[in-house]
Amino acid sequence: MKHPYLTDDHEIFRKSLRKFLEKEAYPFYEKWEEERMIPRSFWTKMGEQGYLCPDIDEQYGGSEVDWGFAVVINEELERVGSGLVGVGLHNDIVVPYITAYGTDEQKKRWLPKCTTGEMITAIAMTEPGTGSDLANIQTNAILDGDHYILNGQKTFITNGIQSDLIVVACKTDPKANPKHKGVSLLVVERDTPGFSRGRKLNKVGLHCQDTAELIFEDCRVPKENLLGEEGKGFLYLMEKLQQERLLVAIAAQTASEVMLKQTIEYVKSREAFGKPVSKFQNTQFKIVEMATEIEMGRAFLDQLIAEHIEGKDIVTKVSMAKWKLTDSARKIAAECMQLHGGYGYMEEYEIARRFRDIPVASIYAGTNEIMKTIIAKNLGL
Ligand SMILES: Cc1cc2nc3c(=O)[nH]c(=O)nc-3n(C[C@H](O)[C@H](O)[C@H](O)COP(=O)(O)OP(=O)(O)OC[C@H]3O[C@@H](n4cnc5c(N)ncnc54)[C@H](O)[C@@H]3O)c2cc1C
């Protein structure tokens, strides 16, 4: 089915991106998983082809295209594997903070390199002691002359090891009441004194995705690296979370579609008791149930993408899509693995990797429980 917000231009773009990924990503993905890292050369190749931040202004290196192109990029990356999530995070989560709240000087300094892949970005909100309760972060930045002195620790940071530019959520006013009014966003550059990286974290899935701890010890961040205004960081984060959660929903939906397609192919080719497994009624009912769930998910998601592109505030509906589609994907991964029998548990079948990768989508970008608290509040409960 053709997505209603996509034109022929998007489909031409999709074809060339898929061709690019067939050459530059699919054949290496398993190796990247073993090495627990995507090489920087993949980023720069993406940049050369215009696949990094294509929506930003031409003067900063972008192509000023609509967000439908971002949807195509994220879907095609997810089709390769969920471990490429860091590219989407760079394009559509971190860089948008700079384009929305950065000064012209900051944009000129950073954005062109973000489009070429010379600069990989990350966003650091979560700390060892707090994730969901963002207003309670302890990392603080105190102004001292022309610098902020940043102290604290972050964890679970996507692109943590490779990042050159990190948007760090911190307290510039640790005593602010209410707490969230003390939160600001500081941009920390790779070689800033006092900044170091901790462990590269060993995860259940997303093996090629780099996830790490970041440490700031009397880290001297130039005053001009403040993003937007002091004390408005929490507000900025809330404003951008709609897009972040929509991206997670897009990835989950794409993963479900991929898993179903692979499973249909498998059950048609595998025989038991003298006939294809696809001919058992249980298999058919499971497949039908998943196909129905996926079809409904796609219809809802497409509507939300179209509304997001129109600039509508759809926080409640995006929170619904985020929890529901990631929850569905997790259940679909388990059903698809079951229908593969023993082979589903073997690494040579992609369903095994998908099964490991998908549960995190219910956890990051705000847990599914937090999505439900947002929806409940917005329903007036
Ligand atoms: C692979 C991966 C990549 C990540 N990438 C990033 C990144 O790039 N940048 C970043 O800043 N963070 C990142 N995160 C962190 C992620 O956003 C947090 O893990 C998530 O927000 C949950 O926070 P927490 O782990 O501290 O869990 P907690 O907040 O401690 O939650 C524990 C449990 O309690 C539940 N809970 C908490 N509060 C409530 C409530 N009010 N009502 C009901 N239930 C509640 C949660 O839903 C969860 O089930 C990443 C995490 C992972 C696993």
d(CA 212, CA 83): 14
Ligand 1 touching residue 323 (CB < 6 A): no
Q: Angle, to 10 degrees, between the axis of helix 8-24 and the axis of helix 68-80?
A: 30
Phi, psi of 203 (to 5 degrees): -105, 165
User: Nearest 5 degrees, angle CA 162-CA 350-CA 243?
Assistant: 50
**Mean local confidence (pLDDT), 261-266:** 98
The mean predicted confidence, pLDDT, of the chain is 97
Beta bridge partners of 142: 149
Q: What is the pLDDT of residues 67-79, one digit of tens each?
A: 999 999 999 999 9
- Whole-number Å distance, alpha carbon 365 to ligand 1 midpoint, is 8
Q: Is the predicted pLDDT of residue 159 greater than 70, yes or no?
A: yes
Supply 281's token pair: 């009624």
**Mean local confidence (pLDDT), 277-295:** 98
Q: Which atom of ligand 1 is nearest to the CA of 89?
A: 8
Note the pLDDT of residue 367: 98
288 CB-near residues (< 8 Å, 6+ apart): none
Q: Atom 7 of ligand 1 has which residue's CA nearest to it?
A: 157
Q: Which atom of ligand 1 is nearest to the CA of 366?
A: 21
Q: At 2, is the pLDDT very low, low, confident or very high (cuts 50, 70, 90)? A: low
Note the pLDDT of residue 5: 87
d(CA 186, CA 169): 7
- Whole-number Å distance, alpha carbon 126 to ligand 1 midpoint, is 8
Ligand 1 touching residue 313 (CB < 6 A): no
H-helix or E-strand spanning residue 332: helix 315-339
Ligand 1 pocket test, pick from 93, 126, 199, 368 with the greatest ligand atom count within 8 Å of Cβ, gives 126
Q: Is the predicted pLDDT of residue 4 greater than 80, yes or no?
A: no
Q: Which atom of ligand 1 is nearest to the CA of 203?
A: 1
Q: Is the predicted pLDDT of residue 100 greater than 80, yes or no?
A: yes
Note the pLDDT of residue 325: 98
**Mean local confidence (pLDDT), 30-42:** 97
From start to end of the chain, where are the E strands? 121-124, 140-144, 147-158, 165-171, 183-189, 195-200, 211-222, 226-227, 271-272, 275-276
Cα-based distances in Å from 199 to 40, 157, 165, 320: 19, 11, 18, 34
d(CA 92, CA 43): 15
d(CA 88, CA 77): 8
d(CA 68, CA 223): 36
Note the pLDDT of residue 58: 96
Phi, psi of 40 (to 5 degrees): -60, -30
d(CA 350, CA 356): 10
Q: Is the predicted pLDDT of residue 141 greater than 80, yes or no?
A: yes
d(CA 55, CA 224): 25
Q: Is the predicted pLDDT of residue 363 greater than 60, yes or no?
A: yes
Global pTM reads 0.96
- Whole-number Å distance, alpha carbon 318 to ligand 1 midpoint, is 18
d(CA 33, CA 31): 5
Q: What percent of the chain has pLDDT over 90?
A: 99
Ligand 1 pocket test, pick from 132, 202, 208, 357 with the greatest ligand atom count within 8 Å of Cβ, gives 132
Note the pLDDT of residue 1: 54
Residue type at 312 in one-letter notation: K
244 noted as active-site residue: yes
Q: Is the predicted pLDDT of residue 12 greater than 90, yes or no?
A: yes
d(CA 270, CA 310): 45
Q: Which atom of ligand 1 is nearest to the CA of 132?
A: 29
Q: Is the predicted pLDDT of residue 165 greater than 70, yes or no?
A: yes
Q: What is the pLDDT of residues 204-249, one digit of tens each?
A: 999 999 999 999 999 999 999 999 999 999 999 999 999 999 999 9
- Whole-number Å distance, alpha carbon 209 to ligand 1 midpoint, is 17
Residue type at 61 in one-letter notation: G
Note the pLDDT of residue 142: 96
Q: Is the predicted pLDDT of residue 277 greater than 90, yes or no?
A: yes
Cα-based distances in Å from 109 to 104, 113, 203: 9, 8, 34
Ligand 1 touching residue 297 (CB < 6 A): no
Pick the catalytic residue from 75, 78, 127, 244. Answer: 244
Ligand 1 touching residue 124 (CB < 6 A): yes
Alpha carbon of residue 240 to chain centroid = 12
- Whole-number Å distance, alpha carbon 186 to ligand 1 midpoint, is 21
- Whole-number Å distance, alpha carbon 66 to ligand 1 midpoint, is 31
CB atoms closer than 10 angstroms to residue 199 = 11
d(CA 125, CA 42): 26
